[in-house]
Structure 1
Amino acid sequence: MSEISPPDFDLAIIGSGGGAFAAAIKATNLGKRVVMIERGTVGGTCVNTGCIPSKSLLAAADARHVALDSNRFPGINTSADPVDMQVLIGGKGDLIETMRADKYVDLIGEYGWELRHGDAAFVGTPTDPLLEVTDADGTVETVRAAHYLVATGSSPWVPSIDGLQEVDYLTSTTAMELDEVPESLLVLGGGYVALEQAQLFARLGSKVTMVVRSRLASSEEPEASRALMSVFADEGIRVLRETTVSTVRTDAATGEVVALVSGIGGREGIRASKLLVATGRRPVTEGLNLAAVGVTTGEEGEVAVSAMLASSNSRIWAAGDVTGHPEFVYVAASHGSLVVDNAFNDAAREVDYRHLPRVTFTTPNLAAVGMTDKQARDAGILCECRVLPLEYVPRALVNRDTRGFIKIVADTHTGLIVGVTAVAQNAGEIAAAAGYIVSAGMTVTQVANLWSPYLTMAEGIKIACQSFNTDVAKLSCCAS
């Protein structure tokens, strides 16, 4: 029996996104030899095609909308010219290049790990896994490491719809490269990507229709769906709930996409200049040859991992979207750090999503921490809830925008806050504060008696907690 050769590296990482970089930084700080393998552009989804580009365009669209919506303030009346999409996309590209260099590429040299460009695939055996890396010229090299991290992320998923493959449809990636604003846009999906993209293009000037299988933000509180439906209606976005698409085609005469939909409103043909498919994402594991080295994958291709992010092969780990876990870059980064601790320090750390904040960057934001009302009841918690309309939050009154709410889910017996959801301006900041509250195990009474700065949205958490025992309609605007 031949001996296994010593490893060339302590850690070989496939991918170069947030999880990959967090792992590489932590491992090199521990003095480990690290190699990172990337087949495309360094930086992964977040900086290249996800968080940074989408949020920069959302901020631009919001600026235009503020100008068009300024008449809600007495004495203010502004307007906005049509969008120069080529210039807007160019500016987005400049921002991405700067952040990719500053936050990703330049760090590789500063920390000193190796970067190799090429397609990686596992070879060898479960007891002696290796990576074959094939570069653009077809040159193949073998990498042997003590541990491997799969951090290949996810990509847009496209459902099977009759005629879709013959249509020049958009995904969340290609939509952000358009050189002009579509006159009309049909969006398939009701999750966070669909919500953000629908509002983005509506605010840039498109006439937007959404086709949603169930309801908007179906995994969150039903109040959130209703609030966003109202916001979108105000902004001219048509939402068809409980509706599916049976066929799509391109009208040869006009170039428009024509979709046949069926739902609670009956059957209808919808025409649009462009079709955006935003029906979710799937882990990227194709071509990695994981089965050859004993790594189990799930129904959607995700790497099956334990709570410590170990795969079924003890030397192979996974982090980020490829695990099928919550698709946030801060989750991926936390995963990368956790993997290194577990692989090299025997830390036995486990992921814990109980206090994970989740934010959809519509305006107003949808943000939540902890359990929804239904999740609490399903977990056997006898809960009591309060939904505070924003008309009771002074900051919202000053903003002259009371669309939304703050909802508190609390254990009836203990008063312990187990979930907070908000639809409000800067609700992401509310979620940050709520995350600390829920993770600290605070009660409704404790939060109701905390100091809270006046004329902040986060003050709404305190007022919502006061509503458990007080008629907040009878409070002075700054009463504690």
Structure 2
Amino acid sequence: MPSFDAIIIGTGQAGSPLAGRLTAAGMKVAIIERNLFGGTCVNTGCTPTKTLVASAYAAHLARRAADYGVVLDGPVKIDMKKVKARADAVSGASRDGIGNWLGGMENCTVFRGHARFLDAKRVQVGDEVLTAGKIFINVGGRAILPEIPGLADVPHLTNSTILDLDAVPEHLLILGGSYIGLEFAQIYRRFGAKVTVFEPGPHLIRREDEDISQAVSDILTAEGIDIVVSAVNLAVAKAANGGIAVSHDGSNGLKTVTGSHLLVATGRRPNTDDLDADKAGIALDAHGTIIVDDALKTNVDGIWALGDCNGKGAFTHTAYNDFEIVAANLLDNDPRRVSDRIPVYALYIDPPLGRVGLTETEAKKTGKNILVSTRPMTRVSRAIEKGETQGFMKVVADADSGEILGAALLGTGCDEAVHSLIDVMYAKRPFEQVRRGVHIHPTVSELLPTLLAEFRPA
């Protein structure tokens, strides 16, 4: 029975760097991977999808070339096989880099196979039984297939399998109007597909304020994407023409839309159902999420959970921060906690949405005296010069303390500009200090001081 100081299950964005820190500290580490090195981000998440976003943006900009005085001969054409090959190459290089790094890491042994707990100290991988005093779970998550009548009887795609397409769908139907669904909606519309999005809620990306959701909807519909909100009682069936039919209760009765391909983007769940976590006594919630404390410890001494499987944030940046928290507590005598983290994320449609902290709706529920400031991107010089003036910026603050509570920046460059506010929030400085700052012209960020000078009571 091979014995190690630590076992890491999964090579995602928390597991791999943790192996680096633990081995550097002199520990003997086993890391287990049953599928592809790098986890969701590298293989089916950020890396391939943002590569597709870049190709879609190039196609969109080429179609708009005349707006900039650039003349192109003939219509823009998409070679989807080359688009896919490019995305595969970018993901493959990152995946190979992680695999080579782990394979050459001193004091680290890589095991390929499916890990299952035998008890709180032993993990089985194939015919091998490994033992360690510390075990770190980084098993990630996968797409949820909702209980929709007829879904099991028709071919359907998830965020993973849609990456296998090497031809543009004629008409892509998408169930789910949030981050994954909307990014693929714009990608494939820009590649030339007809796209229809079905969202059961009253507006897109339900966690956002309604004005942000409406602005996102306006951007997408302007590109020819059909969006159906309040799409309740969804059902799926094979269409007479060989396609796929999605029906729902509309305002005037049952509506049916027929397409060639169906993408299910209705959420994700952790990969814990085949981990045999119960044999180690690890507590899970009703959704299969591993329950952890503020330092990412499970209820079992010597076992931690990091990344998507712990329910503390299904993002690459939160998974990597999970690694930092665990390493700081174990190796650096630095008591870092998940509760110190400010929620940050982005929606990578074009233009992107950068988000930090509370929404306006959430801020109002705190009982604080709330200030709000907004500015349309039509009043941002950088956006005007680029010819990309869609969206607007909004910041929410506490009138009494001057603390910035949250921001939603929707517009060109806003996934980068939002970091100015993120840094101020982590530094716990009042917005007045940003307002007095001098930023570079012409940038999107230069309008943040102006935005913070125009607060009004919410």
TM-score bucket (shorter structure): over 0.9
Worse-matched range after superposition: 322-331 or 97-106: 97-106
> Once the two structures are superposed, what CA deviation does each residue of 1:72-115 show, in whole Å capped at 9, x if it has no partner?
33x33446433111121122212222121224433431444110
**2-side partners of 1:318 and 1:456: how far apart?**
40
> Once the two structures are superposed, what CA deviation does each residue of 1:351-408 show, in whole Å capped at 9, x if it has no partner?
1365332111110001111111121122232211011111221111112222111101
Q: Structure 2-normalised TM-score?
A: 0.95
Cα drift, residue 432 of structure 1: 1.6
Residues 28, 107 of structure 2: 8 Å contact kept:
no
**2-side partners of 1:204 and 1:355: how far apart?**
35
Question: Paired residue for 2:70?
Answer: 76
Unmatched 5+ stretches in structure 1: 135-139, 470-480
> Once the two structures are superposed, what CA deviation does each residue of 1:34-74 show, in whole Å capped at 9, x if it has no partner?
1001111111111111110000011001100011123333x
Where do residues 337-356 of structure 1 align in structure 2 (5 Å cutoff)? 337-344=324-331, 347-352=334-339, 354-356=341-343
Question: Paired residue for 2:310?
Answer: 323
Partner letter of residue 70 of structure 2? Answer: I
Are 2:74 and 1:118 aligned?
no
Unmatched 5+ stretches in structure 2: none
Partner letter of residue 83 of structure 1? Answer: I
Aligned counterpart for 1:248 among listed residues 226, 229, 236: 236
Aligned counterpart for 1:230 among listed residues 218, 224, 238: 218
**2-side partners of 1:80 and 1:280: how far apart?**
36
Aligned counterpart for 1:380 among listed residues 341, 364, 367: 367
Q: Structure 1-normalised TM-score?
A: 0.91
Partner letter of residue 413 of structure 2? Answer: N
Cα drift, residue 142 of structure 1: 0.9
> Once the two structures are superposed, what CA deviation does each residue of 1:273-316 show, in whole Å capped at 9, x if it has no partner?
10100111111101111112111001110100001100010111
Residues 163, 249 of structure 1: 8 Å contact kept:
yes
Are 2:450 and 1:450 aligned?
no
Question: Paired residue for 1:474?
Answer: none
**1-side partners of 2:30 and 2:233: how far apart?**
45
Change (3 A) 1:266 1:228: farther
Taking only the aligned residue pairs, the percentage that are identical comes to 31
Question: Paired residue for 1:14?
Answer: 9
Aligned counterpart for 2:426 among listed residues 439, 448, 468: 439
**Any idea what SS the aligned residue of 2:7 has?**
strand
Question: Paired residue for 1:394?
Answer: 381
Where do residues 47-196 of structure 1 align in structure 2 (5 Å cutoff)? 47-73=42-68, 75-78=69-72, 80-124=75-119, 126=120, 129-134=121-126, 140-196=127-183
**Any idea what SS the aligned residue of 1:144 has?**
strand
Residues 34, 113 of structure 1: 8 Å contact kept:
yes
Cα drift, residue 22 of structure 1: 1.9
**1-side partners of 2:66 and 2:442: how far apart?**
22
Aligned counterpart for 1:221 among listed residues 189, 209, 213: 209
Question: Paired residue for 1:467?
Answer: 454
Where do residues 408-419 of structure 1 align in structure 2 (5 Å cutoff)? 408-419=395-406
Residues 152, 284 of structure 1: 8 Å contact kept:
yes
Are 2:278 and 1:291 aligned?
yes
Cα drift, residue 348 of structure 1: 3.6
Are 2:415 and 1:423 aligned?
no
**1-side partners of 2:3 and 2:329: how far apart?**
20
Residues 389, 406 of structure 1: 8 Å contact kept:
yes
Question: Paired residue for 1:43?
Answer: 38
Change (3 A) 1:200 1:11: same
Change (3 A) 1:38 1:412: same
**2-side partners of 1:323 and 1:100: how far apart?**
23
**1-side partners of 2:269 and 2:418: how far apart?**
26
Cα drift, residue 418 of structure 1: 1.2
**Any idea what SS the aligned residue of 1:248 has?**
strand
Question: Paired residue for 1:197?
Answer: 184
Change (3 A) 1:313 1:363: same
**2-side partners of 1:445 and 1:336: how far apart?**
34
> Once the two structures are superposed, what CA deviation does each residue of 1:148-176 show, in whole Å capped at 9, x if it has no partner?
01100000111011110011001111111
Aligned counterpart for 2:347 among listed residues 360, 369, 382: 360
**Any idea what SS the aligned residue of 1:18 has?**
coil
Worse-matched range after superposition: 33-42 or 238-247: 238-247
Change (3 A) 1:240 1:329: same
**1-side partners of 2:311 and 2:235: how far apart?**
29
**1-side partners of 2:77 and 2:415: how far apart?**
29
**2-side partners of 1:290 and 1:347: how far apart?**
29
**2-side partners of 1:417 and 1:341: how far apart?**
27
Cα drift, residue 28 of structure 1: 1.1
**1-side partners of 2:98 and 2:122: how far apart?**
29
Partner letter of residue 354 of structure 2? Answer: A
Cα drift, residue 334 of structure 1: 1.4
